[in-house]
A and B are shown apart, each in its own frame.
Chain A
Amino acid sequence: MAFRGFGGIATSGLIAAAILWSFATTDVEFSRLLSAGPRIADFFGRMFPPDPTVMAEIKKGSAETLRIAILGTLGAVILSVPLGILASETMVSPAVFRPIRTLLAFIRAIPLILVAMLMVGAVGLGPLPGIIAVAFHATGMLAKFYAEAIDGVSRAPIAALESAGAGPLVRLRYAIWPQMAPVVARDTIFRFELNLRESLILGIVGAGGIGFYIQTYVRSFQYDKAASVTIAVVVMVIAIEAINVALRRRFT
């Protein structure tokens, strides 16, 4: 009990020290916040009314973002099926799943925007680098989820099929897959939603999608057009989330 008390005090002390350190060493001038009011008001003033003449750009950009998210998710699924199997302790030995899990953790640690910038450099501007970046980035999470889905199934039916003489792939197909299918569906839909949200910013680095228009309009001070695009983005995210909630309910 005394130990826990000490641990609690030490934790609180650490958190307080981290906050104080951040204030002391960052160039934060709160006085600037006071003068920001009128400027923010001006900014919002220029956003209203949103300019509806950019519907064509919104349609084009949204469609491209949606395509990047769909194809990126497809790519991630294709990569995650073998990697997920190789990262599961049910299917392979520790000598295989340990390095694969380390690789997946490494992939997850690389931010999407960095991958996208590298891909733009490698294959040029447009949606292609965005698709590759989303597929790569999402695989880090999706393959881990798939591996966990494989490892989360009941072991008894697997043992039963092994006892009946079924090989590892046949066991995966008939004992593991039927049990993990709803989890895979749920995880994939969840990752698709994340891919869509994250791919909205890809346009900023030239990797395609609606983000390109937001960046263009903000940089050229056309805030009314930027506002229209922003509204479209919010509507799209809310719509996809609503669809996913409905789908996820089916799979639980």
Chain B
Amino acid sequence: MSTAIEIDDLSFAHSGADLPALERVSFRISAGESVALLGPSGAGKTTLLALLDGRLQGWSGRVSVLGAPLDPDRPPPSARRPDTGFVFQEFALVERSSVLRNVLNGRLGRMSPLRALLGSPTKHDLEIARTALADCGIADLAECRVDSLSGGQRQRVAIARCLAQEPRLILADEPVSNLDPARACEILALLTGAARTRGATALFSSHQPDLARRFAQRIIGMRDGRIVFDVPTSELNDDATAELYREVGPIPGIGLRAVS
């Protein structure tokens, strides 16, 4: 089975930070796997996902995504970026644009720059966007402006945009943290289901162990920028989870907290 993500001895510190955001992280994810990154806020999940998306530079170690090594000093070439899709925690949608326009924005990296700039998507682009909308259950919202939508609807638009990109790897940063439990299950089922039917690899972060258990085949536990455990979902025991969320004494600036 081919490899989707390979990380070896990765360390990274945000500029000006005292403590590293990621410390000696190593793991490998095979193509087609659904993996959850579990850990409290401040564990380094968002940093790791942004780094895999090519948005962070200045790290050390070796990282390879979809078979191509990432350069620690510069972002990946635009031609490679559509292969990695990202679902942002705060949706990152263009509020004043329509749902369809936002989903088509996911196609921009797949179009020629001129076609993208002129705003003339091909029939193929439109078809993919419509399919993504339908898969996310929001086909009827296509013409609505995003600023008129609810949180759950916005999350669906964000996922549809990611799917329209036709990524081979889907990275999702806390895709359900803003939703109530029932919506959270729907969205995660949608995300992991869409990844499976498209043969894409999915890596999503969460701070809710029960959701991670339900929707991932494998769970990587993170705390303080380190990997604490990396196990198949069936082998995850409550002690390991409890250890992940154990309260430490208050350390200013680290913002570790138990999750309800």
Measured CB to CB, the residues of A under 8 A from B are 154, 156-157, 159-167, 169-170, 173-175, 178-179, 181-182
Partner of A181, one of B55, B82, B91, B96: B96
What 5 pairs across the A-B complex have the smallest Cβ distances?
A165-B109, A165-B81, A156-B92, A160-B92, A166-B108
| Chain A positions within 8 Å of B119 at CB level | 173-174
| Chain B positions within 8 Å of A159 at CB level | 55, 88, 92
Interface residue B127 (Cβ < 8 Å from any Cβ of A): no
The 7 listed contacts between A and B (C-beta, < 8 Å) are A163-B81, A164-B108, A165-B82, A174-B94, A174-B97, A174-B119, A178-B97
| Chain B positions within 8 Å of A154 at CB level | 95
A179 with B95: CB separation less than 8 A: yes
Interface residue B34 (Cβ < 8 Å from any Cβ of A): no
B96 with A164: CB separation less than 8 A: no
Interface residue B106 (Cβ < 8 Å from any Cβ of A): yes
- In this complex, the interface size class of chain B, counting residues with CB under 8 Å from chain A, is 20 to 34
A173 with B117: CB separation less than 8 A: yes
**Cα(A183)–Cα(B159), bound, Å:** 29
A163 with B97: CB separation less than 8 A: no
Of all chain A residues, the one with the shortest Cβ separation from B145 is A178
**Cα(A154)–Cα(B80), bound, Å:** 25
| Chain B positions within 8 Å of A165 at CB level | 78-82, 108-110, 165
Point out which of A154, A164, A181 has the most chain B C-beta atoms below 10 A from its C-beta: A164
| Chain A positions within 8 Å of B101 at CB level | 174, 178
Interface residue B93 (Cβ < 8 Å from any Cβ of A): yes
| Chain B positions within 8 Å of A163 at CB level | 53-55, 81, 84-86
**Cα(A170)–Cα(B118), bound, Å:** 9
B93 with A157: CB separation less than 8 A: yes
Q: How far is the CB of A91 from chain B (nearest CB, A)?
A: 15
B113 with A170: CB separation less than 8 A: yes
Can you list, as one digit per residue, whether each of B46-68 has a CB less than 8 Å from chain A (1) or not (0)? 00000001110000000000000
Q: How far is the CB of A93 from chain B (nearest CB, A)?
A: 15
| Chain A positions within 8 Å of B90 at CB level | 156
Given A157-B92, A163-B86, does the pair A169, B117 have CB atoms closer than 8 Å? yes
B86 with A160: CB separation less than 8 A: yes
Point out which of A165, A169, A175, A178 has the most chain B C-beta atoms below 10 A from its C-beta: A165
Interface residue B226 (Cβ < 8 Å from any Cβ of A): no
B84 with A170: CB separation less than 8 A: no
Q: How far is the CB of A90 from chain B (nearest CB, A)?
A: 15
**Cα(A162)–Cα(B97), bound, Å:** 17
A174 with B105: CB separation less than 8 A: yes
A175 with B55: CB separation less than 8 A: no
**Cα(A159)–Cα(B91), bound, Å:** 11
Which residues 132-176 of B have a CB within 8 angstroms of A?
161, 165
Of all chain B residues, the one with the shortest Cβ separation from A174 is B105
Of all chain A residues, the one with the shortest Cβ separation from B106 is A164
Interface residue B116 (Cβ < 8 Å from any Cβ of A): yes
**Cα(A160)–Cα(B55), bound, Å:** 10
A164 with B113: CB separation less than 8 A: no
B86 with A170: CB separation less than 8 A: no
Q: How far is the CB of A149 from chain B (nearest CB, A)?
A: 13
Given A163-B84, A167-B78, A173-B119, does the pair A157, B94 have CB atoms closer than 8 Å? yes
Q: How far is the CB of A183 from chain B (nearest CB, A)?
A: 11
| Chain B positions within 8 Å of A166 at CB level | 78, 105, 108-109, 116
A167 with B113: CB separation less than 8 A: yes
A164 with B105: CB separation less than 8 A: yes
Which residues 181-216 of B have a CB within 8 angstroms of A?
none
B106 with A178: CB separation less than 8 A: no
**Cα(A167)–Cα(B75), bound, Å:** 13
A160 with B105: CB separation less than 8 A: yes
**Cα(A175)–Cα(B97), bound, Å:** 9
| Chain B positions within 8 Å of A175 at CB level | 94, 105
Known: A161-B108, A163-B53. 19 other contacts (CB 8 A): A156-B91, A156-B92, A157-B92, A157-B94, A159-B55, A159-B92, A160-B93, A160-B161, A163-B85, A164-B82, A164-B106, A165-B82, A165-B165, A166-B109, A167-B78, A167-B113, A170-B108, A170-B113, A174-B105
